[in-house]
Amino acid sequence: MIHANLYREEGKSFRGKELRFLNEKDWEFDEEGIVLKKTAKWITIFAILLASFFILNTNTEKLKNTLEYKNGKEYRLLFTDIELLTLFHGRRSGTEDEAKVVNYLTARFQDIGLKPFSNGYVQTFELPGVQLATNLPRPCFRHINNHRFKGLNVIGFIRGTDSNLTKEYILVTAHHDHLGVHQKTVYEGANDNASGVGVLLNTAEHLARQTTKRSVVFVAFGGEEMGCIGSQKFVDDPPVPLEKIAAVVNLDTLGGNSNAFSVWSKNKMLQEYISKFAIQNGFQVVNKNYPDHMSDHFPFEAAGIPAVTLTSPDWIELSHTTTDTFQNLNKDKIIRACELNNKLISQLANSDIAF
């Protein structure tokens, strides 16, 4: 979640020429964009496998009392995905950590069976030079110079089965980036927004086991914390026609201690539809207003596409602090978010409703 000024005043004010990562030595370019050099690639894959093994082992004890354990298979990988994301030093966009996270997410998209569009799973875009301003109530990025860095979106889709509705798209989105490291302090960003990416992957797994009439596109954005840069790139250079996007459900910071969910949107029809759907299915909804804050639904909304961010009314409590850790995450709330989002996306993808 970002402060609105970062988007309004600065978000679209830069245009780059030359793109590079903060640390280039492990990377090379090919026609599809940035790739890891071979040795670095195997080291990364090995590190991810090793980390998964330890996390799976240590988590078993921790998770015995959570709903994930009770529900078994459906949520088997949910907290592994979320905890893994918190291990990449705050996942600052434009760094190697982002590229490693994107490697992991691409592998997960592939395993789940999401298809790539013709340009592959990864969409690249330009990031501005930023600095973390810590003299604010909530530390946030500020654009400071014209240095160009490269940010990454991960995109995959499930094709709809209805001959007419297959050309309509429901988007499920969540940003994978966070604030990174500042003066040796790591901002893990477990709730903001490893939680949203975990729920997105869980919904992708859920939908891959069934058929839907409409097509469903899953996008993990980079660059959100720097001003919704990745989602703006998607809108500027979309892999599907924008007018065919029936609705966007963006997931951001879902695991607060409140039992309720919040639906943010200027599209009142979509906001009411989702709020009612949630209440009818046994979830609480509190649509608290935060006019000075926004998330990745905003560039879609600005382009006239029906879009919401699903969050928690108390999202701001640990937001952008060093206490936003995996340990402090309300795991049961994340399970509830999966239950809600899985039902909601299934419903939207199997109807022809327009907003």
Q: Footprint of Zn ion on this chain (CB under 5 A)?
A: 1, 192
Q: How far is the CB of 198 from Zn ion (least distance, A)?
A: 16
The amino acid sitting at 99 is A
User: Tokens 């297959």 — which residue?
Assistant: 166
Shortest reach from residue 1's CB to Zn ion, in Å: 4
Cβ proximity to Zn ion, 45 vs 186, nearer residue: 186
At closest approach, how far in Å is the CB of 178 from Zn ion? 7
Q: Least distance (Å) from Zn ion to the CB of residue 206?
A: 26
What does the alpha-carbon distance between residue 227 and residue 6 come to, in Å, rounded to a whole number?
A: 5
Closest separation in Å from C-beta 177 to Zn ion: 9
Tell me the closest approach of the beta carbon of residue 93 to Zn ion, in angstroms.
Answer: 11
Q: Which residues pair with 310 in a beta bridge?
A: 251, 263
Cβ nearer to Zn ion, comparing 81 with 192 = 192
Q: How far is the CB of 175 from Zn ion (least distance, A)?
A: 8
**Residue with smaller CB distance to Zn ion, 192 or 339:** 192
Q: In the bound complex, what is the minimum distance in angstroms from residue 162's beta carbon to Zn ion?
A: 37
Q: Minimum distance between the CB of residue 2 and Zn ion, rounded to whole angstroms?
A: 6
Residue type, 126: E
- Of 91 and 233, which has the nearer Cβ to Zn ion? 91
Classify each residue of 69-98 as buried b or exposed e, where b means 16 or more C-beta atoms within 10 Å of its C-beta. beeeebbebbbbbbbbbbbbbbbbbbbbbb
Helix (H) or strand (E) holding 205: helix 195-208
Q: Which of 280, 256, 271 is nearest to 336 (CA)?
A: 256
Backbone torsions φ then ψ of 261, nearest 5 degrees: -115, 160
Which of 217, 172, 159, 154 lies closest to 342 in space, CA to CA?
Answer: 172
In the bound state with Zn ion, the residue whose beta carbon lies nearer, of 150 and 176, is 176
Residue 298 vs residues 178, 185, 301, 306: alpha-carbon distances, Å: 18, 29, 5, 10
DSSP H helices in 28-66? 38-62
Whether omega for the bond prior to residue 202 falls within 30 degrees of 0, making it cis, is no
Minimum separation from the CB atom of position 64 to Zn ion (A):
31
Choose between 195 and 275: whose C-beta lies nearer to Zn ion: 195
Nearer to Zn ion, 83 or 192 (CB): 192
Rounded CA separation 25/230 (Å): 24
* DSSP 8-state code for residue 106: H
Cβ–Cβ under 8 Å, residues 332 and 67: yes
If the CB atoms of residues 206 and 297 are measured against Zn ion, the closer one turns out to be: 297
When the beta carbons of 26 and 317 are compared against Zn ion, the nearer one is 317
Helix orientation angle between 96-112 and 195-208, rounded to the nearest 10 degrees: 20
| Beta-bridge mates of residue 217 | 157, 171
Task: Using alpha carbons, select from 150, 107, 171, 190 the residue that is nearest to residue 349.
Answer: 171
Query: Alpha-carbon distance 89 to 213, whole Å?
Result: 39
Closer by beta carbon to Zn ion, 173 or else 275: 173
